Structures are given as structure tokens and as C-alpha cells.
């Protein structure tokens, strides 16, 4: 039953394109777009789960983090192209803050209903990565300016962290 509802929501994908093409109110386009993202997010989640069976949980988590936030990434890149770097930075950091402040605690509460439960107890390696990530983000945004090289450094740091998690036992 739930799968049929998700499939039914796919009608909002072309509806979003039509609403945008015919210059309908941005508020309406926003709500139609929000409805169209729901089934697409479900498909991305299922595909990521299936990929992680073959690639392992580290690469599966990396793929989920990368593609699961595709909307935020797209918005931040669009704002950066329009030379609105303050907004691009706020979108990027706001997305990470939202995950930490809302998604993680919500997942922990939901996990109480299952056999395997989550916690916010991190091992030393994970704690070091979290602290370094916060320090790197702070160093990038503290001067209020950015350039392509700082963006490249962030991408390299992300790849290094992903490889470290992949290789860490």
C-alpha cells in the first residue's frame, strides 16, 4: 500500500516541471517540488542500501551522505554560480547542522523501537574526525570570503575522510 502511495507521488515530478515552465507562483512550485522529492528520496535510499550490500557499510554511508543531500548540494552550487557565496556557505553549513541537531537525535529515538539501537557514543577515531571537520569548516568561513582553492581543499578533505573511514577497521 505504501509503495503505491510513493509511486503515485511521482506524478508531481512532471507537475513541478510544468509549474516552473508556466511561471506559476514560486510557493506552489516549492510545495509541488517537495512532494516530488519524497518518492525520489525513497528510491535513492533503497539503491544506497542495495549498493552497501556489495560495497560495505563505509562506502554505502559515503554514497548516502553524498546523494542523500543532493538538493542542498544543488542549491549551494547554484548560489555559488550566482556569486552569492554567503548564501551558498549558509546552505552547506546549515545542512550539516540540521543533520547533527535533528536527524541524529531523531534516528536515535526511532532506533529504540528496533532490536539494534543507535547511540551518540563515538569511538576515538570518529571523535577526531568530528573535531577536525568542525575545525576545518571554521577555518574556511571565519574570514567571510572564499575562493576555488578553499573549495578544492574541502573536497580533498572530504575524500580523505571517506577513504579513512573505508580503510579504518
pLDDT 10s digits, 31-47? 998 888 888 888 887 88
How many domains does the chain fold into? 1
For position 128, what pLDDT does the model report? Answer: 93
- pLDDT of residue 56 exceeding 80, the answer is no
CA 142 to chain centre: 23
Does some domain include residue 127? Answer: no
Which is nearest to 9 in space by CA: 47, 31, 44, 40? 40
How does pLDDT run across 57-110, given as a tens digit for each residue? 767 777 777 777 777 888 888 988 898 888 888 888 888 888 888 888 888 898
Do 29 and 13 touch, CB atoms closer than 8 A? Answer: no
Rounded Cα distance between 6 and 131, Å, is: 38
What distances in angstroms separate CA 159 from CA 4, 12, 36, 93, 143, one per listed residue? Answer: 38, 35, 30, 18, 24
Domain that holds residue 50: 1-68
Q: Where are the beta strands (DSSP E) in 6-152?
A: none
Within a domain: 11: yes
Cell of 71: 538538493
Residue 29 pLDDT: 92
pTM confidence score: 0.62
In a domain, 50, yes or no: yes
pLDDT of residue 122: 86
Tell me the CA end-to-end span of the chain in Å, nearest whole number: 40
Query: What's the confidence (pLDDT) of residue 82?
Result: 92
- Residue 125 has what pLDDT? 92
Q: Is the dihedral of CA 39, 41, 45, 51 positive or negative?
A: positive
Q: 113 and 102 in contact (C-beta within 8 Å)?
A: no
Cell numbers for 90: 549558509
pLDDT higher than 90, residue 9: no
pLDDT, one tens digit per residue, over 107-144 is 889 889 988 888 888 889 989 998 998 899 888 888 87
Quote the pLDDT of residue 32. Answer: 92
Higher pLDDT, 58 or 153: 153
Nearest-angstrom CA–CA distance, 145 and 142: 8
Amino acid at each position: 500500500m505504501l509503495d503505491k502511495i510513493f509511486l503515485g507521488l511521482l506524478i508531481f515530478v512532471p507537475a513541478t516541471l510544468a509549474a516552473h515552465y508556466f511561471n506559476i507562483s514560486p510557493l506552489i512550485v516549492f510545495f509541488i517540488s517537495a512532494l516530488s522529492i519524497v518518492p525520489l528520496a525513497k528510491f535513492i535510499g533503497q539503491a544506497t542500501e542495495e549498493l552497501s550490500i556489495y560495497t560495505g557499510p563505509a562506502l554505502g554511508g559515503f554514497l548516502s551522505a553524498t546523494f542523500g543531500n543532493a538538493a542542498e548540494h544543488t542549491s549551494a552550487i547554484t548560489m555559488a554560480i550566482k556569486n552569492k557565496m554567503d548564501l551558498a556557505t549558509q546552505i552547506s553549513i546549515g545542512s550539516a547542522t540540521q543533520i547533527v541537531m535533528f536527524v541524529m537525535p531523531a534516528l536515535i529515538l526511532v532506533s529504540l523501537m528496533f532490536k539494534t539501537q543507535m547511540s551518540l557514543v563515538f569511538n576515538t577515531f570518529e571523535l577526531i574526525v568530528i573535531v577536525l571537520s568542525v575545525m576545518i569548516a571554521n577555518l574556511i568561513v571565519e574570514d567571510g570570503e572564499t575562493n576555488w582553492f578553499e573549495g578544492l581543499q574541502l573536497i580533498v578533505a572530504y575524500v580523505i575522510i571517506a577513504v579513512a573511514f573505508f580503510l579504518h577497521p
